[in-house]
Amino acid sequence: MWNGSPRMSETAVRRRSARGKGAELRGELLRAAMDLLTETGEEDAVSLRAVAQRVGVSVPSIYLHFADKQALLDAVCEEVFAALDAQMQAAAREGTDVFDALRLQGTAYVKFAVANPEHYRIVLMRKHDPQTGGEHADFVMASSAFAHFVGSVQECVDAGVLEGDAGTLALQLWAAAHGVAALLVAKPYFPWPPLDDYIEQVVRMAGMGIAASSRLADCDALPLPELIERLNTLRP
Amino acid sequence: MWNGSPRMSETAVRRRSARGKGAELRGELLRAAMDLLTETGEEDAVSLRAVAQRVGVSVPSIYLHFADKQALLDAVCEEVFAALDAQMQAAAREGTDVFDALRLQGTAYVKFAVANPEHYRIVLMRKHDPQTGGEHADFVMASSAFAHFVGSVQECVDAGVLEGDAGTLALQLWAAAHGVAALLVAKPYFPWPPLDDYIEQVVRMAGMGIAASSRLADCDALPLPELIERLNTLRP
DNA sequence: ACCGCTAACTTATCGGCGTTCACTCACTTC
DNA sequence: GAAGTGAGTGAACGCCGATAAGTTAGCGGT
């Protein structure tokens, strides 16, 4: 570029951080990795070499601030997932009642995944090995998003619209939401129904299902005609 | 081994195939890749080098029979997924009615995923790029398993227990089943509830939910007390 | 019996990856 | 100005998927 030889991607040049400010590089690496991930939408594009080049630093320098590549990716996703909690809580506040708030949180969750597919994939669609499994479980369970969601479920239990243990119910609802999210993230080119419709349908299915299934615990023991009759009483 | 020098992993030696029988190698490669995948349970363990060494052949020979690594993995998973349809149909036959058959197919689906986690991950939890996306969509839509499942949903519609377009309903149920499956596959070390319970809960939630949601399309427009009252009519 | 053709397979090599080790640089402190 | 050390590098290792060019071996024709 300035050099006569064309440069394919901007190779930044960086002045070494001041004495106590080694951690500055950590932030720059994080930002670079986040940008790479969102720009390319390809996890593979976030190689340590690419990150290092973008920051204008050598590859081993990354290891001064992150244990390994996974640690860097984890840090990236941690940042992004902090936003998930905010979005879900904001959505919940729009609800007309506690049950509606649950529904809105579900759609917010899935739409977050669709809007941040690579981040979602890295955090929730990768296999975690035994060692990091424990930490990861803690991460999810202790994450504000999940905790707040369990709280919302508990409110529904208190209001009498759901029955049972809030944590157990939340795991079931999470599975449904994760199902749409994961499918949409993994197969974006599949001929899905219009996304908003599909998401809405699955979220409603889960909501109605969790409300109904606790009240019909032995539904499949019922003869089919009776089940249909009962279901029809729901209709307006 | 026979050589005096210890061999860490069995390095097979292979006689070159006869003139017309080049395709024999394809089968051996497939088997080796399948074995590696199931033995290690790690997709990363299935490197072209590992497969080639196990068969006793050089790496580039693989390219005589598979376009690239992905083609090899696809072939592996295609074999395994043929069994999914069989298992789901067998499960469906155990149902006491068409709706119960649906439930059994759901649990069979998830349990298949749990039993073949790496295969499930490769086929359904990987991102597909635009080019292979089309083929993949065809693969899924045309797969016997999905087609048969849509058929079962249609039977439920015909029986009056479900309402709406069978394909649309099937996609929603698929999302719920995929949700549990994907979570269990991706996070095997997460402190889930007992697996059978969890799977059963989600499948029931989806089944009841899809039956109920079409009958309560405007449920969230209802005041909460009225919704609760209606739901309580379901209770035995 | 030999030749040539070509299917089947190999050797050598490329560029990229994550990771490690030994090293240099520049600033602070004495 | 020497010592110490935090910040960052260069070079290398072993792995990966992929490609290009070369070699082997068996069959068909003469």
What would the pLDDT profile of A11-49 be if each residue is shown by its tens digit? 667 877 767 676 889 999 999 999 999 999 999 999 999
Q: What does the pLDDT read at residue B3?
A: 39
CB atoms within 10 A of CB A64: 12
Q: How far is CA A26 from each of CA A51, A52, A71, A75, rounded to the nearest angstrom?
A: 11, 11, 12, 10
Chain B residues with beta carbon closer than 8 angstroms to that of A159: 224, 228
Q: Three-state secondary structure along B73-114?
A: HHHHHHHHHHHHHHHHHHHHHCCCCHHHHHHHHHHHHHHHHH
Residues written for chain A: 236
Residue B57: which pLDDT band, with cuts at 50, 70 and 90? very high
Banded model confidence at residue B134, pLDDT cuts 50, 70, 90: low
Q: Is residue B210 within 8 angstroms of chain A, CB to CB?
A: yes
Examine the pLDDT at B10 and tell me if it is beyond 70: no
How high is the pLDDT of residue B7?
A: 38
Mean pLDDT, residues A164-180 taken together: 97
Q: pLDDT tens, A87-138?
A: 999 999 999 999 999 999 999 999 999 999 999 999 899 987 766 645 665 5
Alpha-carbon distance of A16 to A21, in angstroms, equals 9
pLDDT digits (tens, 9 = 90+) for B137-167: 556 665 788 999 999 999 999 999 999 999 9
Q: For residue range A136-154, what is the model confidence (pLDDT) as tens digits?
A: 655 666 578 999 999 999 9
Kindly report, residue by residue over B86-104, the tens digit of the pLDDT.
Answer: 999 999 999 999 999 999 9
Contact assignment for A216 to B209 by CB distance below 8 Å: no
Residues in chain B: 236
Residue A51 to residues A72, A194, B125, B191, B230, Cα–Cα distance (Å)? 10, 36, 26, 34, 56
What are the CA-CA distances from residue A41 to residues A45, A169, A218, B142, B178 (Å)?
Answer: 8, 33, 45, 29, 23
For position A10, what pLDDT does the model report? 56
Q: Report the pLDDT value the prediction gives residue B1, as an integer from 0 to 100.
A: 38
> Would you tell me how many other CB atoms lie within 10 Å of the CB of residue B68?
11
The arithmetic mean of pLDDT across residues B107-126, rounded, is: 95
Nearest CB among B127, B190, B220 relative to A137 is that of B190
Protein footprint on strand D: which nucleotides are under 7 Å from a CB? 6-12, 15-21, 25-27
Average pLDDT rounded to a whole number, residues A170-186: 97
